[in-house]
C-alpha cells in the first residue's frame, strides 16, 4: 500500500488551462503539504494543512488553490497555467508538525509540463 | 541570503569511494538538521537527522554538524551504485517550516 499517493503522475497541458492534482495519505497523519521542485531540484514548500485547516501559505500566486476535503486528502488546483508553473509537485504528510525532528512522508510527485 | 545552501553538484564517484556532501545554514538558532535522499522520479525520504552539534552514524552513513561554522555534512563510506540519488539537506526554521537545500545529485559508478 502506498502511504502518500498523488495523481496524476504526469500532466501535460497548454498555457491558460486549469488543472488539478490530487493527493491522499493512508498514514492517519493530521498534516499535509504541497511542495514544488524546480528543474534545479530546489524543493520549496507551498502550503500546509493541519486537519483541514490552512497553516502555511507561502508567497504563491493565488492561481494556486489548495483544498482539503478531509485530513486524508489535499488537492491542488491551478488556474490559468503559465510556462513557469512547469515543475514537479510533491504532496507530503506528517504526524506532528510541532516536533522539530518531524519526518515528512512524500508522494512520488506529479510532473507538470505547461506548453 | 538563503536559509540553507548546498553544493549543487553533480558529483560522480567510483564505487567504494568515500562521499562528502555539504550544506551551510544561516541561522545559528537552528538545532535540527536532516538529510533526505531522493531517487530518480521518486519523492524524498528521510535518511538521517541530527540534533545540535556532533556526529550521528547509521551504517555507512554519518551526519555531522559543526555549529561554530554553521556547516552540516553527510559522509557515505564504501559508496555503492544504489546510493546514486539526489541528497537534500534540510532544517526546520523558526517559523516551523522545513527548508531544503538545493540538493546534490550523486552518481556512484560501478
Cis bond leading into A8, ω under 30°?
yes
Report yes or no: A43 and B3 within 8 Å, Cβ to Cβ.
Answer: no
Contacts of B110 (CB under 8 A, 6+ apart): B15, B81
- Band (pLDDT 50/70/90 cuts) for residue A1 is low
Radius of gyration of the CA atoms of chain B, in A: 13
> Which of A32-36, B47-51, B97-101 has the largest mean confidence?
A32-36
Which of A8, A24, A43, A91 is the best mutation test for B, with the most CBs of B within 10 A?
A43
A92 in contact with chain B, both atoms CB, cutoff 8 A: yes
- Band (pLDDT 50/70/90 cuts) for residue A33 is very high
Per cent of chain A over pLDDT 70 is 95
For B53-96, the pLDDT digits (tens) are 778 999 999 999 998 899 999 999 999 999 999 999 998 877 77
Q: Which residue of B has its CA nearest to A37?
A: B102
B32 in contact with chain A, both atoms CB, cutoff 8 A: yes
For A68-95, the pLDDT digits (tens) are 999 899 999 999 999 999 999 999 999 8
Distance (Å, whole) CA B37 – CA A80: 33
Question: What pLDDT, on the 0 to 100 scale, is given for residue B39?
Answer: 96
Report yes or no: A16 and A80 within 8 Å, Cβ to Cβ.
Answer: yes
For B91-110, the pLDDT digits (tens) are 887 777 888 999 999 999 99
Instruction: Tell me the backbone φ, ψ of residue B37, rounded to 5 degrees.
Output: -115, 135
For residue B62, give the 3-state DSSP assignment.
strand
The residues that bridge with A13 in the sheet, in sequence order, are A114
Amino acid at each position: 500500500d502506498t502511504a502518500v499517493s498523488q495523481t496524476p503522475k504526469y500532466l501535460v497541458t497548454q498555457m491558460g488551462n486549469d488543472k488539478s492534482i490530487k493527493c491522499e495519505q493512508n498514514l492517519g497523519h493530521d498534516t499535509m503539504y504541497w511542495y514544488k521542485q524546480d528543474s534545479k531540484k530546489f524543493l520549496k514548500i507551498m502550503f500546509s494543512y493541519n486537519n483541514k485547516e490552512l497553516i502555511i501559505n507561502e508567497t504563491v500566486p493565488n492561481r494556486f488553490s489548495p483544498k482539503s476535503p478531509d485530513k486524508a486528502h489535499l488537492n491542488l488546483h491551478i488556474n490559468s497555467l503559465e510556462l513557469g508553473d512547469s515543475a514537479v509537485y510533491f504532496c507530503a504528510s506528517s504526524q506532528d508538525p510541532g516536533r522539530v525532528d518531524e519526518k515528512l512522508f512524500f508522494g512520488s510527485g506529479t510532473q507538470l509540463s505547461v506548453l | 541570503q538563503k536559509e540553507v545552501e548546498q553544493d549543487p553538484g553533480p558529483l560522480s564517484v567510483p564505487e567504494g569511494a568515500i562521499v562528502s556532501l555539504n550544506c551551510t545554514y544561516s541561522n545559528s538558532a537552528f538545532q535540527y538538521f536532516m538529510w533526505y535522499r531522493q531517487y530518480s522520479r521518486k519523492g524524498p525520504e528521510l535518511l538521517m537527522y541530527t540534533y545540535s552539534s556532533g556526529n550521528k552514524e547509521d551504517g555507512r552513513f554519518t551526519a555531522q554538524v559543526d555549529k561554530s561554522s554553521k556547516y552540516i555534512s553527510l559522509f557515505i563510506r564504501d559508496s555503492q551504485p544504489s546510493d546514486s540519488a539526489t541528497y537534500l539537506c534540510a532544517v526546520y526554521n523558526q517559523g516551523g517550516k522545513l527548508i531544503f537545500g538545493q540538493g546534490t545529485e550523486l552518481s556512484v559508478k560501478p
